[in-house]
Structure 1
């Protein structure tokens, strides 16, 4: 486990500790190298009778496969690390917690969306809770409040934002660093690039093959690099199929696998009519902008730069809403007239906070064009609209509309 002095506290730790207090099976799910094992270990420090099993050890894995019942026999809490490696344990876990309903019976970690794996014979409805762990937020890295989403819903465009000293080049540097703890600790671009190279190779040679039988790994690698160059854009399966000379069905399968192992995220389209969301075109973003930047290094233009800044912002929003109080749903907006909004956050009451991202240090009234269209269509449901940009200050641009620095995402207090 990481030394305590190197550990950056995670906001998700509170969620894990709360779940262990009232839920039989707690699952910490997320990409490789996001700190799941360390988080799980630290959340069990105060627990007694903890048994730890690490399934990346071949001997431990062989024991689990040979006799799952004996392997899982323990009086207190059992930590099972990398549980997706032994799907045979799933039914035995269900059997045990059905007969011993004490909370905190199992703490599982996995490097794939476990319930999406075809090898798993059954889910654990009513018995489990999943906490997703993503790369570090800027707030976690810098010990900032990470409260923008809660503040936006609480105060609308009147939220209080701290002026920023960061500029476009600074945000691009933060984006290129990404949020994997190991990448954050490395202090030079060359060493960070070496981490991303090794990480990408591990994902392609290990994680992908854990969840599917990929016959032509070179096709998957080509797809990943192509998607990195398009991160922040709409997902067009037909165009990808044509560009890569692959069947569209193969592209769809590969994209599903990449989402399963937390390499990418699909942001669904938003509409006032809920029935249209499932058929509208999703937006694709990498879960770590640093990895996306590494994969497109050498390809520098306005499109890739804008896509990386948008990926950076959406990543911060997506991580923040996994543990904040409001817990809104994240979408993007696009209509037939060409109006687009990069992020649409909708809470359970139907209130909407809409966000446009600009990779520029200045803002014009025209940058609010799509936000105003959405505001007119939503009426009272429109809580606030923001343009997040690379400048230094918060400025009003009309009723419930304002521009704020990108750093407001992590420096703003929630209340």
Structure 2
């Protein structure tokens, strides 16, 4: 057996799970939910097995009699088990008894929110800090708490980040040889179209149109492109375009499979700013999926950067580098009880790639720069935000592909992406 390697989510789980009557770990297939939840379980009910589904369907009370913690894995295979767990919590199940894991929320299933009963936690593909490619020297949590220390250096360069984009953060896929990884990622995407969509209650009449929509969404990576434009790009040349309702169904199904991970806009609770755009920034669950949908491997991405190939905004590699940063920032921020957003004014004159929002409303602003150096032009929007919100800006950071972590004279932290950790 392969030894379990702790994930960043394990630290908050250590703190929370023993005290919560029921906890849900959700995320796309292949991110390691079962392995992580299984480390804490004394009993495992695997509802992907027909025999175990039959037993629980016939007598849900078995969930309360098994030694806890009880892992109910692949719960979406028997959706009513969600309410069975909720009722068990209402009936007085002990703290730490239930862990629910699943990779989708079935369409048409009326599921009680679980508010106050089943606490949700999202698990994503491996962040950079979880890949053991570098030892992080700058903590996002420390930055959020006002600790200004920024030090360290790395030998990782652009080609290394390209490798991490294409290798993926799926634990079972990334150790494989490059060609095998590409085959596995293609099979992952084909499984989504051919199996996962129908299981979600979304029959796919034209798989090629869905695949084209996914590719168009991938091409919009790290942008706020309107869904109507994504549809137009996916169906260029088609006389009979799918209805808007069809593409909304695509989005809903992908969301229920946790394969979309958009970054919502930041809407300040204080009246610092006005005329902010309210569109999400588009991201898939993993940048490797976007690269495969676009038919790009590591050499092709490096060529596209050299040629200046345009995406919706910026270069293909620039968008995917930002996607890689977002995957890590999402994980680190949630471990620090914070949330990831982005900022863009309606007329587009000011934009901050990411805003990490603390519960008290104060923020950390983050810009992403696909370069080995940072110039004054790269921090102008950070300076604008500091002037606008003052003390509510805890810190400002540029994540880049360079060698050293340091602070500029204006106080902006400059950190190689691989050196940022939780």
CA displacement, residues 71-91 of structure 1 (integer Å, 9 cap, x when unaligned): 535242222110011112223
Structure 1: runs of 5+ lacking an equivalent: 45-49
1:201 and 2:190 aligned: yes
Equivalent residue, structure 1, for 2:238 = none
5 Å-filtered alignment, 1:66-215, equals: 67-69=58-60, 71-72=62-63, 74-77=65-68, 78-112=70-104, 114=105, 118-142=108-132, 144=135, 148-155=139-146, 158-186=148-176, 188-215=177-204
CA RMSD between the two structures: 2.5
Equivalent residue, structure 1, for 2:249 = 253
Residues in 2 aligned to 1:174 and 1:161: alpha-carbon distance in whole angstroms: 23
Equivalent residue, structure 2, for 1:52 = 44
Q: How has the CA–CA distance of structure 1 residues 102 and 305 changed in structure 2, closer, same or farther, with 3 Å as cutoff?
A: same
> Is the partner of 2:187 in helix, strand or coil?
helix
Equivalent residue, structure 2, for 1:329 = 339
Residues in 2 aligned to 1:83 and 1:146: alpha-carbon distance in whole angstroms: 38
Q: Is the 8 A contact 2:221 2:319 kept in 1?
A: yes
Q: Is the 8 A contact 1:237 1:248 kept in 2?
A: no
Q: How has the CA–CA distance of structure 1 residues 22 and 277 changed in structure 2, closer, same or farther, with 3 Å as cutoff?
A: farther
CA displacement, residues 51-103 of structure 1 (integer Å, 9 cap, x when unaligned): 322111123223333x1435535242222110011112223222222223311
Name segments (4+ residues, structure 1) moved above 6 Å: 274-279
TM-score, normalised via structure 2 length: 0.86
> Is the partner of 1:33 in helix, strand or coil?
coil
Residues in 2 aligned to 1:242 and 1:408: alpha-carbon distance in whole angstroms: 39
> Is the partner of 2:179 in helix, strand or coil?
helix
> Is the partner of 2:196 in helix, strand or coil?
helix
TM-score, normalised via structure 1 length: 0.88
> Is the partner of 1:312 in helix, strand or coil?
helix
Equivalent residue, structure 1, for 2:280 = 282
More helix by share: 1
Q: Is the 8 A contact 1:331 1:343 kept in 2?
A: yes
Q: How has the CA–CA distance of structure 1 residues 194 and 330 changed in structure 2, closer, same or farther, with 3 Å as cutoff?
A: same
Structure 2: runs of 5+ lacking an equivalent: 236-240
Q: Is the 8 A contact 1:82 1:110 kept in 2?
A: yes
Equivalent residue, structure 1, for 2:352 = 341
Q: How has the CA–CA distance of structure 1 residues 91 and 277 changed in structure 2, closer, same or farther, with 3 Å as cutoff?
A: farther
Q: Is the 8 A contact 1:29 1:111 kept in 2?
A: yes
Equivalent residue, structure 1, for 2:231 = 241
Report the count of equivalent residues.
396
Equivalent residue in structure 2 for 1:43, among 36, 40, 64: 40
Residues in 1 aligned to 2:290 and 2:348: alpha-carbon distance in whole angstroms: 30
Cα distance, 1:398 vs structure 2: 4.1
Cα distance, 1:395 vs structure 2: 4.3
> Is the partner of 2:93 in helix, strand or coil?
coil
> Is the partner of 1:354 in helix, strand or coil?
strand
